A and B are shown apart, each in its own frame.
Chain A
Amino acid sequence: GQNIDQPTEMTATEGAIVQINCTYQTSGFNGLFWYQQHAGEAPTFLSYNVLDGLEEKGRFSSFLSRSKGYSYLLLKELQMKDSASYLCAVREAGGSYIPTFGRGTSLIVHP
């Protein structure tokens, strides 16, 4: 089984940088995903990490350390529209490749 932990809620100021952490425990690792979900909408894919290091995609970056069971999503130059829930999901090696989702971090960006 897997245990995925991420903060329930975070707040940040428009224009700032915010880092959303995700820690996981799994018997075997085969990739970590980040999704964004605005209230009342479908989750949308942000990033996928399977090797250690930083993946940058515009204002969003995702980092993975497999030895520490740790990932973070970094959002730069925050905009009001970044207010959303951010879901961390981990895929376990061997067997089902279906990822297990954390409960999500609700990010509130204020002016």
Chain B
Amino acid sequence: KAGVTQTPRYLIKTRGQQVTLSCSPISGHRSVSWYQQTPGQGLQFLFEYFSETQRNKGNFPGRFSGRQFSNSRSEMNVSTLELGDSALYLCASNEGQGDEAFFGQGTRLTVV
């Protein structure tokens, strides 16, 4: 069974631009969660999608958004990028309200 796949692995953007990151969950998993990981703040929850609906949301500004498609693949978008958005963005999937989350390798975003 293939794991969680995130693309791209690395991305460099300039301030003010927008970016879209993609996540393909493990086959059969309907829940996809997104996290931002930085050295200072650790792993912080962005949002969770289940069956194409946002089910939970963390404390991030509206510049951060996401969606989920009927095949459970998910995208997150960050608009009007700021230097502070530089981070590792991780996607995790599980079957539903399952206990164990499976993480992807992440997308390393650098904003210059």
Interfacial chain B residues near A98, Cβ < 8 Å: 33, 45, 48, 56
B41:A103 contact, CB within 8 angstroms: yes
Which stretch (A19-27, A40-48, A58-66, A76-84) binds chain B?
Answer: A40-48
Interface size class of B (residues with CB under 8 A): 20 to 34
Asked if A67 is at the interface of the complex by the 8 Å CB criterion, the answer is no
Interfacial chain A residues near B61, Cβ < 8 Å: none
Interface string of B45-85 (1 = CB under 8 A from A): 10010000000100000000000000000000000000000
Q: Which residue of A lies closest to B41 (CB)?
A: A103
| B-side interface mostly | strand
Interfacial chain A residues near B100, Cβ < 8 Å: 45, 48
Given contacts A48-B99, A96-B56, A97-B97, contact A42 B45 (CB under 8 A): no
Given contacts A97-B97, A98-B48, contact A42 B103 (CB under 8 A): yes
Query: Could you tell me how many residues of chain A have their Cβ less than 8 Å away from some Cβ of chain B?
Result: 19
Interfacial chain A residues near B45, Cβ < 8 Å: 98, 100-101
State A89–B106 Cα separation when bound (angstroms): 19
Q: Which residue of A lies closest to B48 (CB)?
A: A98
Of A42, A45, A103, the most chain B CB neighbours within 10 A belong to: A42
Interfacial chain A residues near B102, Cβ < 8 Å: 45
Interfacial chain A residues near B104, Cβ < 8 Å: 42
Known: A42-B105, A98-B48. 13 other contacts (CB 8 A): A33-B99, A41-B105, A42-B4, A42-B104, A43-B43, A43-B90, A44-B103, A87-B43, A98-B45, A98-B56, A101-B43, A102-B42, A103-B41
**Contact residues of A with B, CB < 8 Å?**
31, 33, 35, 41-45, 48, 87, 89, 96-98, 100-104
18 pairs across A/B with beta carbons < 8 Å? A31-B99, A41-B105, A42-B90, A42-B103, A42-B104, A42-B105, A42-B106, A43-B43, A43-B103, A45-B102, A87-B42, A87-B43, A96-B48, A98-B48, A101-B45, A102-B42, A104-B42, A104-B43
